């Protein structure tokens, strides 16, 4: 088996092949590291690669295979970790010069669980400074490029993670999502990503206060099965995270073979207020028809709720004012200028304005929950546009209409407010060969139907064997 064949394997296949002795963890890690060496200079998905420690851990993993020890569900599988997630002994910058040389003394709970499952961390993937925008660029490492068009952004803020998975630079990437940061790059890079329910995957320890009440950690993969496998490893209660949810003792993998007959599914092409690119509407609308063919009862419907853009932005501003706002006086010259200006504006926010925004978000969540009393799932485009050029925070115009700052990502951040699980599945390509994603949103605390629906759609319209031009 050659390196390219190994790199194109799913995490599930890789683990099974390692356990069967078809190749070793050392061969798996070396194949992925060679792939990174070959392609990362073109796309800048990885900002830190830990080849020496990965090879050492692979040798230890190989020894356990030879001793016929019990192997974890990700034994020998190379994984990448977003540069916002703490990794013990590995530089974690958050994409910020404030933490350019920071090396955590602890793993985040997610990384701790991945290692216990046998996964091998091979590096950190690029992110914008503290994940504050939905494109991937920062003053330390520069921009990450889209694997389908190097002049375009992969989205963000988990853009390095999604780009790496799309190019076979590791079958499993861990990202985080405070307003769409797993789903947006998954859509723009043509891979699968799921934002779990808020609290389903413990997130501590980490940078203090970032995206408070909004951000979750989750997997980006080529297949739904790999994401379900990762969720079985990383999900579950841990009281080191104050918001950690109680265990459900639910196994996600068996759900993937279930059918969708009788599920009530709402299709909203615009949530009642969004402007969407014509090709995106055409591609996602065609994908929705697949769900009707799978036995779902599909209706076009919108929640009775206006755009929460202002209250979402205010909640983000309040958390940013606390951190890294506390660093502004002594370290402004080490913060990206645009981000520094955003922080300065946020520092003028009154506590009453922040609390008002939180109340508005609670009211918005109540309206969405009422909508889900009638539907099991909601389908929307993941992003309102295909990938756009590097160097801008977002398109200024969509379908001939002027776009608000968050106008190109109107479908993702609402479900960070509500805390619901939501995934992006690849559902087609534009005339220019850029991928488009369909978002599947489930009820609060119920990832199972989201993964089940994503798996059924994957069987009906498979995407995993379609690769970017770089290979």
Catalytic residue numbers? 82, 157, 181
Residues 6+ apart with CB under 8 A from 403: 275, 394, 395, 396, 397
DSSP 246: P
Report how far residue 87's alpha carbon sits from residue 68's, in angstroms, rounded to the nearest whole number: 29
Structure-token pair, residue 264: 């009530």
Block residue for tokens 């329910």: 197
Q: What are phi and psi of 227, to 5 degrees?
A: -65, -40
Closest CA to 7 of 26, 34, 41, 43: 34
Cα 398 from Cα 274, distance rounded (Å): 10
| CB distance 67 to 24 below 8 Å | no
- The kind and range of the H/E element at 17 are helix 11-19
Give the angle 266-429-436 at the CA atoms, nearest 5°.
Answer: 45
User: Which segments within 244-304 are labelled E, that is strand?
Assistant: 264-267, 297-300
Q: Is 432 exposed, middle or buried (0-12, 13-18, 19+ CB in 10 A)?
A: exposed
What whole-number distance in Å separates Cα of residue 33 and Cα of residue 290?
38
How many other C-beta atoms can be found within 10 angstroms of the C-beta atom of residue 465?
A: 7
For 467, the 3-state DSSP assignment is coil
Q: For residues 186 and 382, is the Cβ–Cβ distance under 8 A?
A: yes
Residues in contact with 246: Cβ distance below 8 Å, sequence separation at least 6, in sequence order: 237
Pairing of strands 377-381, 435-442: antiparallel
Q: What is the DSSP string of 104-150?
A: -SS--HHHHHHHHTT-EEEEEE--SGGG-SSS---TTT----BTTBT
Encoded tokens for 439? 């978002």
């Amino acid at each position: 088996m050659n390196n390219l064949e190994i790199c194109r394997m799913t995490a599930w296949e890789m683990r099974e092949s390692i356990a069967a002795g078809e190749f070793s963890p050392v061969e798996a890690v070396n194949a992925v590291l060679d792939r990174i060496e070959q392609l990362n200079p073109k796309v800048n998905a990885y900002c830190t690669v830990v080849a020496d420690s990965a090879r050492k851990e692979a040798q230890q993993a190989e020894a356990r295979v030879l001793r016929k020890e019990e192997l974890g569900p990700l034994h020998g599988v190379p994984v990448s970790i977003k540069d916002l997630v703490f990794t013990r002994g590995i530089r974690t910058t958050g994409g910020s010069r404030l933490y350019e040389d920071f090396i955590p003394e602890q793993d985040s709970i997610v990384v701790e669980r991945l290692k216990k499952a046998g996964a091998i961390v091979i590096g950190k993937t690029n992110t914008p400074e503290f994940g504050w925008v939905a494109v991937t660029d920062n003053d330390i490492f520069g921009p990450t490029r889209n694997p389908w068009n190097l002049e375009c952004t992969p989205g963000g803020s988990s853009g390095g993670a999604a780009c790496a998975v799309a190019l076979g630079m590791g079958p499993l990437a861990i990202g985080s999502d405070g307003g769409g940061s797993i789903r947006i790059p998954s859509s723009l890079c043509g891979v699968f990503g799921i934002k779990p329910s808020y609290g389903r995957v413990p997130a501590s320890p980490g940078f203090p206060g970032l995206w408070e009440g909004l951000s979750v950690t989750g997997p980006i993969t080529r297949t739904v099965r790999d994401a379900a496998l990762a969720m079985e490893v990383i999900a579950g209660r841990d009281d080191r995270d104050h918001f950690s949810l109680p265990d459900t003792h639910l196994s996600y993998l068996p759900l993937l073979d279930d059918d969708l007959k009788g599920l009530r599914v709402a299709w909203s092409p615009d949530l009642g207020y969004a402007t969407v690119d014509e090709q995106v509407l055409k591609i996602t609308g065609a994908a929705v028809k697949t769900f009707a063919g799978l036995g779902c009862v599909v209706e076009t419907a919108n929640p009775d709720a206006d755009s929460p853009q202002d209250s979402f932005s205010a909640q983000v501003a309040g958390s940013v004012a606390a951190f890294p706002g506390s660093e502004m006086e002594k370290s402004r010259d080490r913060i990206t200028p645009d981000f520094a200006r955003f922080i300065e504006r946020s520092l003028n926010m009154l506590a009453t304005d922040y609390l008002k925004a939180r109340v508005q978000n609670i009211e918005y969540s109540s309206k969405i929950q009422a909508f889900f009393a009638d539907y099991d799932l909601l389908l929307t485009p993941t992003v309102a546009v295909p990938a756009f050029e590097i160097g801008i925070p977002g398109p200024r115009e969509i379908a001939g209409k002027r776009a608000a700052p968050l106008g190109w990502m109107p479908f993702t951040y609402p479900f960070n407010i509500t805390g619901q699980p939501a995934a992006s599945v690849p559902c087609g390509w534009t005339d220019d060969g850029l991928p488009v994603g369909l978002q599947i949103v489930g009820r609060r605390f119920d990832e199972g139907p989201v993964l089940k629906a994503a798996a059924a759609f994957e069987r009906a319209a498979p995407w995993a064997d379609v690769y970017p031009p770089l290979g």
